[in-house]
Each structure stands twice: as C-alpha cells, then as structure tokens.
Amino acid sequence: MSEILIRAFQHPPEAEDESALEAIPASEIETLSDEDLQLSLFLCYGLQYCLFGETAQHWEWETSLIGLRKRLEVRFARELRETAGQLPVVDVEKLPEFLMDLGKPSPGRSLSRYLKQDATMEQFQEFLMHRSVYSLMEADHHSLVIPRVRGGGKPALVEIQADEYGGGIPGRLHSQLFELTLNELGMLTEFGSYFEDVPACSLTTVNVISYFGTYGRHRGAMLGNLAMTEIGSHYVNRNFRNGLQRLNGSDDSWLFFQEHIVADAVHEQLAAYDMCGRFVRDNPREVSDMVFGAVVTAELGARANEHMLSSWERGESSLRGAASVAAG
Ligand SMILES: [Fe+2]
Ligand SMILES: [Fe+2]
C-alpha cells in the first residue's frame, strides 16, 4: 500500500491512479501489516504538512486519496480504542491531577535512564532517528487544533505553541534545535530522511496526533495528547541531555534537550491546569475524549520506548530491516 502511495506522489493525480486507490477494498486494509498501515497513514497525513514536494501536493484534496485515508482510519481508530482499553471515569475538577499523575516519570525500566547511563552513541543516534519523524516538525501537528478550540484553554495552548516556535526568535524553533542536534552528530537533517527506517510503533506516535488534528471532534483527545507530550518531559529531557554529555556530544548537540528541561517544567503546568483543566470546565462533555487522548498517547509512547529498549537488550538494532545510522 505504501509503495502505491509513494509511486502515486511522483506525479499529479491521473484517472488511472485515482481508480487504483478507489479499488482498494476494506478487506485488504484489514490485512495490511502494521508497518504498511502506519507508513501509508504517515504518507497520507504528510500532505497536510507539505512534506513530499510540489507534485505530491496535487494529491492533498484528491477524493480517492481522502477515501483511502478514511478506510485506513477506520482500522486505526479501532486499534487506538483497543490500545487505550477500559478508560477511567475522571471528574472534570480532578482532570489536571489525573493528567499530572499519568505523565509523571515512573520507576523501573526507562528509555531515558538507559540513554543517560548505558546507551552507545549509535543507540543514541537510533533514538534520534525515531524522534526525527516528530521533532523535525515539532509543534506543527498540535497547531492543527488551535482554530478548533474556543474559550477556556486556548490562551495556554497558544502560549505553549509560541514557545515551541521559539518565541519569535529565529533559529530557536524547537524543530530547528533538533536539526542542530542531528547536524552536530553527523546525521541527516532533512525531514523524511528516516521515516522509512523507523518501525510502525514510532510512526504511530505521530500518526495519532495527525489523526486527532484532522477532525474537530477529536479536539479533546488532541489536547490530552499535547498534555502527555509536555507532562514529565523536563525529567526525560534532563536524562537525554546528560546522556549526550556522557557521550561527549558538543554543547550545541544537547541544546534541544536543555531547552526542554527549562520550557517543559512550565509547559506541563500550563498544559494540565490552564489548557486541559480550563477546556473541560467549559466543555465538560469532552472530558472522556481528553482522557482517551492522554491514555492512548501514554501507552503508544511506552510501547515505542519498550521496543527500543528490548531491541538493544537483545543486541539488535531498533530500526526496520537492515537500516543503520546514515551519517550525512
Ligand atoms: Fe518542544
Ligand atoms: Fe514543550
């Protein structure tokens, strides 16, 4: 499926391609591998962010492509519900504390502590490849929800996003700081350099944001997702920074993580109390959507982290196939 899309994006839509996409039955989507499902969704959503060049953009609102994406989303949505499992019932007034508790660092196995203490530079670079599918365009996915939120919660949402975009200072966008990290470590910095190398579990963590951002009815889930991105982030970023310092990374290589130690200590409070807390007070019927978004995000993140940790413990790469760190 992903191969069909990659081929199609090489030229503007033609009747032949359109009918090829329309002819793909739901039963075929049911049997796609996770890798193919997630890569196909990643390609469909990528058009929203102009990721694949001018020619591919002609496909953005092409009805056969939208139809295919919706058929993929039926399966994706069902899998997200299964992943979230039975959701707790959370009182509107207790929502911020619930989120803070869900996102707090836990003892035991931890990707960030492994990267801090034990990872080789090659493993750290693999981790950056996984992160690149999100962080090279950090904040852009979540910006999709801004026009969908009104009233309580919007000022905090916009404040968080403004910081993510560097507060108006050129070169300080978090995506640019991440690019600097990749560059300092001799890795490729162009968006898309690694998306075919990372497994489904990492693409899923980004696809879920695009999915929530595509539909207004998922705005609560999107805010729950953003909250989980912010809560506890300063703790893991301190570990990431310390790991790079241990591995003798240059000062510029860990600036991205340093920035998050400072910014996300503030963002987690803003996200839990001022953004999510105020939003659900004004929209109490959406509290369960927010809980869903937060729970599924936490679980998907944990699965991706566990995949990296267990691959490395087996002495294997966490990347797809034979991919290895492609030094630029
Ligand atoms: Fe950030
Ligand atoms: Fe942040």
CA 271 to centroid of ligand 2, rounded, Å: 9
Least distant ligand from the CA of 138: 1
If asked whether residues 27 and 153 sit together in one domain, one would say no
Crossing angle, helix 34-46 and helix 63-84, to 10 degrees? 130
Cα(5)–Cα(328) distance, rounded to whole angstroms?
Answer: 27
Say which amino acid occupies 323: A
If asked whether residues 37 and 148 sit together in one domain, one would say no
The token duo for 312 is 């490395």
The count of domains in the chain is 2
Cα(231)–Cα(235) distance, rounded to whole angstroms?
Answer: 9
The half-sphere exposure of 244 on its side-chain side, counting CA atoms within 13 A, is 22
User: Contact at 8 Å (CB) between 240 and 259?
Assistant: no
Give 9-37 as a DSSP string: TTS---HHHHHHHHT--HHHHHT--HHHH
CA 262 to centroid of ligand 2, rounded, Å: 9
Per residue of the chain (328 residues), give pLDDT as tens.
888 898 889 988 887 777 888 888 888 888 888 999 999 999 999 999 999 889 999 999 999 999 999 999 999 999 999 999 999 999 999 999 999 999 999 888 999 999 999 999 999 999 999 999 999 999 999 999 999 999 899 999 999 999 999 999 999 999 999 999 999 999 999 988 999 999 999 999 999 999 999 999 999 999 999 999 999 999 999 999 999 999 999 999 999 999 999 999 999 999 999 999 999 999 999 999 999 999 999 999 999 999 999 999 999 999 997 555 543 3
If asked whether residues 25 and 133 sit together in one domain, one would say no
Least distant ligand from the CA of 139: 1
If asked whether residues 23 and 99 sit together in one domain, one would say no
Structural domain range at position 284: 92-322
Helix (H, G, I), strand (E, B) or coil at 105: coil
If asked whether residues 77 and 99 sit together in one domain, one would say no
CA 208 to centroid of ligand 2, rounded, Å: 18
If asked whether residues 98 and 75 sit together in one domain, one would say no
Q: Beta-carbon neighbour count of residue 32 at 10 Å?
A: 17
Least distant ligand from the CA of 232: 2
- At which of 29, 49, 84 does a domain end? 84
Residue 328 located in a structural domain? no
Least distant ligand from the CA of 256: 1
Residue 137 located in a structural domain? yes
Helix (H, G, I), strand (E, B) or coil at 195: coil
Q: What pLDDT sits at residue 327? A: 38
CA 164 to centroid of ligand 1, rounded, Å: 5
CA 59 to centroid of ligand 1, rounded, Å: 30
If asked whether residues 138 and 206 sit together in one domain, one would say yes
Q: What pLDDT sits at residue 21? A: 87
Residue 48 located in a structural domain? yes
